[in-house]
Structure 1
Amino acid sequence: MSYSKQEVVDRCQILLAHAWMVRTFVKHSDEIDDFPELMNITRAVFDTSRALETRVDDLDAYLKMLRKKMRKLRQATDQFAVDAPNASLHTNFQQAVISMKACTKELEELLEQVE
């Protein structure tokens, strides 16, 4: 299936909205006080989202910046999958890990569609 750049950017924005909600959950969780390493995912999502929001009307610049930010977001997601269970085994944390993995995976797949 082929997507236009606009369709890819639109889908990326939806995925980043999901990632932002994970960020918000983690940032405001009680566990953050005892597990400050969880802040890595919040910073990575913040950094990625803020870098992209100024480029949403310039599709090529948006995709270029997303490519640049993906390594850091992938690393933060992978580390979050390790750190979150140490902080809590609660379903909220389990679902947050699943959500971040899905967002990151689909962002990577979308970038492959337009390369």
Structure 2
Amino acid sequence: MTPEHLMQTIDTQLAHVWMVRAFLKHSDEAAEDDELAEVHRELYDYMLALGGPLKEGNAAEYLRMATKKLAKLRRATESFATIQPEISQHTNFQMAVHSLQAAVAEIARLLTPA
């Protein structure tokens, strides 16, 4: 896979991350829970760091930043999975965890050298 194709493939996964982030950001629960608010801020931070290189078509910088910030993305995902049962048992929250975990796992797989 070329670096450019890899960048586009990761960005497709980030569309899923963005939807989870938007769901969390606009939930009443995020307004009431600092840990949950931190999760959606960390998700945004990861995507913000990649936005410039994506717009510039700079695959090398995009992949460098994606790799550099992957640990923070994973931590935010783990944090959400941990706190979600305390925040809400609603199916929307359960599916948001599942969606985020799947997208982040795929991003990690894509960034792992073969």
TM-score under structure 1 length normalisation: 0.92
Partner secondary structure for residue 54 of structure 1: helix
The separation in 1 between residues aligned to 2:46 and 2:99, in whole angstroms, is: 16
Equivalences, count? 112
Deviation at residue 36 of structure 1 after TM alignment: 2.1
1:59-111 CA distances to partner (integer Å, 9 max, x unpaired)?
11100000111000000100100111110000000000001101110011001
Deviation at residue 33 of structure 1 after TM alignment: 3.0
Match of residue 44 from structure 1:
42
* Unmatched tracts of structure 1, length 5 or more: none
Are 2:48 and 1:58 aligned?
no
Query: Aligned-residue CA RMSD in angstroms?
Result: 1.2
* Unmatched tracts of structure 2, length 5 or more: none
Moved over 3 A (4+): none
Match of residue 92 from structure 1:
92
Deviation at residue 8 of structure 1 after TM alignment: 1.1
Deviation at residue 34 of structure 1 after TM alignment: 2.9
The separation in 2 between residues aligned to 1:36 and 1:107, in whole angstroms, is: 26
The separation in 2 between residues aligned to 1:58 and 1:23, in whole angstroms, is: 25
Are 2:18 and 1:20 aligned?
yes
Are 2:11 and 1:10 aligned?
no
Match of residue 79 from structure 2:
79
Paired amino acid for 1:76: A
The separation in 1 between residues aligned to 2:97 and 2:35, in whole angstroms, is: 14
Task: Report sequence identity in percent.
Answer: 40
The separation in 2 between residues aligned to 1:50 and 1:30, in whole angstroms, is: 24
Match of residue 104 from structure 2:
104
2:18·2:44 contact (CA, 8 Å) conserved in 1? yes
